[in-house]
């Protein structure tokens, strides 16, 4: 659902940036894909 993607990404991409930071810090994950 496009609305759910918007919530996951967050305003100005702040939520997804936080997710990327935490994923990289704790699990060495470089890419996060929202489908």
Count of the separate structural domains present in the chain? 1
Nearest to 15 by CA among 30, 32, 27: 32
Whole-prediction pTM value? 0.70
For residue 11, the 8-state DSSP code is G
pLDDT at 1: 83
Q: Provide the pLDDT confidence category of residue 35 given band limits of 50, 70 and 90.
A: confident
Does position 26 have pLDDT exceeding 90, yes or no?
yes
The domain in which residue 28 lies consists of: 1-35
- Report pLDDT digits (tens) over 1-25: 888 999 999 999 999 999 999 999 9
The pLDDT assigned to 2 comes to 86
């Amino acid at each position: 659902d496009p609305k759910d993607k918007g919530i996951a990404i967050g305003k100005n991409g702040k939520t997804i940036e936080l997710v990327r930071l935490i994923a990289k810090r704790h699990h060495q994950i470089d890419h996060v894909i929202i489908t």
